[in-house]
Amino acid sequence: MASEEYCSVPPRWRSISLTHVEFPAGDLTGQLLAYTSLLPIVILVGFVTLIVFKRELHTISFFGGLVLNEGVNWLLKNILREPRPCEGAHATLTTEYGMPSSHSQFIWFFVVYFFLFLYLRMHQTNNARCVELLWRHILSITLLGVAFSVSYSRVYLLYHTWSQVFYGGVTGSTIGVVWFFFTQEVLTPLFPKMAAWPISEFFLVRDTSLIPNILWFEYTVTRSEARNRQRKLGTKLQ
C-alpha cells in the first residue's frame, strides 16, 4: 500500500496508457485503484452518449449539474490553494492544488443525485414492487461502493489527503442534493415549455418527466410499434 513513507523515497510510478493517472510500479492494488479513479471519465462519456442518443431534458440537467459541480471545485481549489500530499511524487498533474478532491466531489455528486433520482423521481408502475425495490437497493449499494473506492484510490495513490477527499465528498453531496431539488422544483415544471421551443424540436429534445418508468414506456411502445409494422408487412406480402 502506498503510504507516507513514499514521500521521502518516491517509488517508481507508472501511468495508465492514454491517461495521466499513475500508480506504483508492481503494485497490483494500486493499478486496480488507478483504473477505478478513471470512473468519472467513464461517467462523463456515458452522459455525452445518452444526451446524443436520448436528448432528454432531465439527463441534460443532470449533466449540467456535474459541470456546475466541477466549476465549484475549480473555484474552491484556487481559493484554498492547499497543496497535494507528497509534492513532486507525480510527474503530471492537472493542478497543483488538492483541496477539495475533484474526483471525490464528482463521484459523490453523481451518487447522491442518483440516489435521490432512484427513490424520489422514479415511481412504482407495476405489481413487481419487491423486485423493483430490490434492484434499486442493489444498485444503490453498488454505487456507494464505487464512491468509496474512487475516494480511497485518491488517497492510496498519493493524489490527496483524507481531509481533501472528505471535504470533496461533502461538497459534492451537498451540491447533488441542492441541484436535484432545484431540478425537481424549478426546472421540471419548465421542461414542457422548453421541449416546445423551436430549437428543441429541431434537435429532437424530449421531456419525459411525466413518464414514471421510461424504460417500461419505451419497451411497450417499441414492441407495439414493431408488431403493427409486422402486421402491415405481412398484409402487403399476401
pLDDT tens-place string over residues 52-105: 888 888 889 999 999 999 999 999 998 888 888 876 666 666 677 778 988 999
Judge whether 112 lies within some domain. Answer: yes
pLDDT at 153 over 80: yes
C-alpha to C-alpha distance for 207 and 195, rounded to whole angstroms: 6
pLDDT at 3 over 80: no
At 127, is the pLDDT very low, low, confident or very high (cuts 50, 70, 90)? very low
**156-194 burial: b if 16+ Cβ within 10 Å, else e:** bbbbbbeebbbbbbebbbbbbeebbeebbeebbeebeee
Judge whether 237 lies within some domain. Answer: no
Q: How many helices (H) and strands (E) does the chain have?
A: 9, 2
- 95: domain range? 17-207
Contact present, 39 and 111 (Cβ < 8 Å) = no
Total domains present in the chain: 1
Judge whether 91 lies within some domain. Answer: yes
For the ranges 87-91, 121-125, 134-138, 194-198, which has the lowest average pLDDT?
121-125
Give the mean pLDDT of 10-28: 67
Contact present, 171 and 105 (Cβ < 8 Å) = yes
Judge whether 133 lies within some domain. Answer: yes
Res 126: pLDDT: 47
At 165, is the pLDDT very low, low, confident or very high (cuts 50, 70, 90)? very high
Q: CB within 8 A of 56, min separation 6: which ones?
A: 50, 205, 206, 207, 208, 214
| Omega of the bond leading into 100 within 30 degrees of 0 (cis) | yes
- Entry field: residues in the chain: 238
Judge whether 71 lies within some domain. Answer: yes
Judge whether 3 lies within some domain. Answer: no
Judge whether 229 lies within some domain. Answer: no
